Amino acid sequence: MSRTPAAGDNERAGTLLAGPGPLVVGILNVTPDSFSDGGDFLDPEAAASHAAAMLDEGAEIIDVGGESTRPGSDPVGQEDEIRRVIPVIEEILSTCPGAVISVDTYRSGTAEAALEAGASLVNDVSALRADPRMASVVAQAGCPVVLMHMKGEPKTMQREPRYEDVVREVRDFLARRAEYAVAAGVEDVVVDPGIGFGKNLGHNLALLHDLDAIVDLGFPVLLGASRKRFIGRITGVQEARERVFGTVATTVLAYERGARLFRVHDVRANREALAVAEAVVRGTR
Nearer to ligand HH2, 10 or 123 (CB): 123
Q: Which of residues 212-241 bind ligand HH2 (CB under 6 A)?
A: 222, 224
Query: Which of 68, 105, 204, 250 is close enough to bind ligand HH2 by CB under 6 A?
Result: 68
CA distance 235 to 237: 5
Q: Report the C-alpha dihedral over residues 93, 66, 229, 243, rounded to 10 degrees.
A: 30
CA-based radius of gyration for the chain: 17
Q: Which of 12, 84, 227, 228 is the catalytic position? A: 228
Nearer to ligand HH2, 176 or 281 (CB): 176
Contact 89, 120 (CB under 8 A): no
Contact 30, 64 (CB under 8 A): yes
Number of residues engaging ligand HH2 in binding (CB under 6 A): 21
Q: Does residue 263 touch ligand HH2 according to CB under 6 A?
A: yes
Is residue 263 among the annotated active site residues?
Answer: yes
Query: Which of 13, 26, 29, 260 is close enough to bind ligand HH2 by CB under 6 A?
Result: 29
Query: Which of 60, 81, 192, 266 is close enough to bind ligand HH2 by CB under 6 A?
Result: 192
- Pick from 43, 36, 78: nearest CA to 228: 36
Q: Enumerate residues 6+ apart whose C-beta is below 8 A from 235.
A: 243, 245, 246
Contact residues for ligand HH2, defined by CB under 6 A: 27, 29, 31, 34-36, 65, 68-70, 104, 123, 125, 146, 148, 192, 194-195, 222, 224, 263
Question: Which residues participate in catalysis according to the annotation?
Answer: 228, 263
